[in-house]
Amino acid sequence: MKGTHLPIATLAIFAFATFFVSASDPSPLQDFCVAINSGLPGVFVNGKFCRDPKLVTAKDFFFSGLQIPRPTANPVGSTVTPANVEQIPGLNTLGISLARIDYAPNGGLNPPHTHPRASEVLVVLEGTLYVGFVTSNPDNKLISKVLNQGDVFVFPVGLIHFQFNIGPVNAVALAALSSQNPGVITIANAVFGANPPINPDVLRKAFQVDEKLVQYLQKQFWYNNS
C-alpha cells in the first residue's frame, strides 16, 4: 500500500508546486523596461510600452521630492506623495514603489483604504501613529498598534488599513509597496462617492441605516488625499 501511495503524493506535491510557481509574477527577461506613454495601439508590458534601452538615462530611475513636507490642511488631514511607475518610469516591471505620507497634528488621518495589488511596509519617520488593518470575512479582526519614530508595521495585500496621528505634532511616514502601481481604494470615497452613485437602497440595507443618512453621505465631498 505504501508503494502505491507514494507516486500519488509525489504527483500532488509536484502539481501544487507547479501551480504556485506559475501563479507568481514571472522574472524579468531583460535588465529593465522603462515605461513610456504612447498613443499607438500595441501590447503593453504591465500596462506600459518600453523605451528603447539605448535611449534610457539616469533620470528614468530618479525622483526627487520625498524629503519635502506636504501641506495637510485638508478634510482628512493627510497628504500622500507617491513614487510609483507614474513618477519613476524605470520602476516598470520591477514590482516596487514608495510613498511619503504627511499627517496633521492631533488627528491627521490616512483614511481606511486598500491596495488591490500590493502589500505595504510602513516606517514612521516622525511622530506617533495609531495604525491597523482588518482581516477578511468572517472574522474581520482588527489588528492595530501605536507606532513611534523608527517603528515598522506591515499591511497585507488587499486588506483595509489606516493610519491616524494621535500626537500633538506633525507625523511623517514612508511606505514601501510590493507593486510598481499598487492602486488605492479609499472605502468611504468608493462607497459613498461612486460615480454614478450607488442605489441608496443598496447602501441602506448594506449598512443597516436610514435612507436619509445614506443620501446625506452621498452628497458629501469625499476628499482624495493622494
Could you tell me which residues are beta bridge partners of residue 103?
78, 171
Q: Each residue's pLDDT tens digit in the chain (226 positions)?
A: 455 455 655 545 554 454 444 444 556 678 888 888 766 655 555 667 888 889 999 999 999 999 999 999 999 999 999 999 999 999 988 999 999 999 999 999 999 999 999 999 999 999 999 999 999 999 999 999 999 999 999 999 999 999 999 999 999 999 999 999 999 999 999 999 999 999 999 999 999 999 999 999 999 999 999 8
> At a CB cut-off of 8 Å and minimum separation 6, what does 72 contact?
78, 79, 102, 103, 104, 108, 170
| 3-state secondary structure (DSSP) of residue 105 | coil
160 — phi, psi (to 5°)? -65, 130
CATH 2.60.120.10 residue window(s) in the chain: 59-183
Whether this prediction's pTM lies above 0.75 is answered by yes
In this structure, CATH architecture of domain 59-183 = Sandwich (2.60)
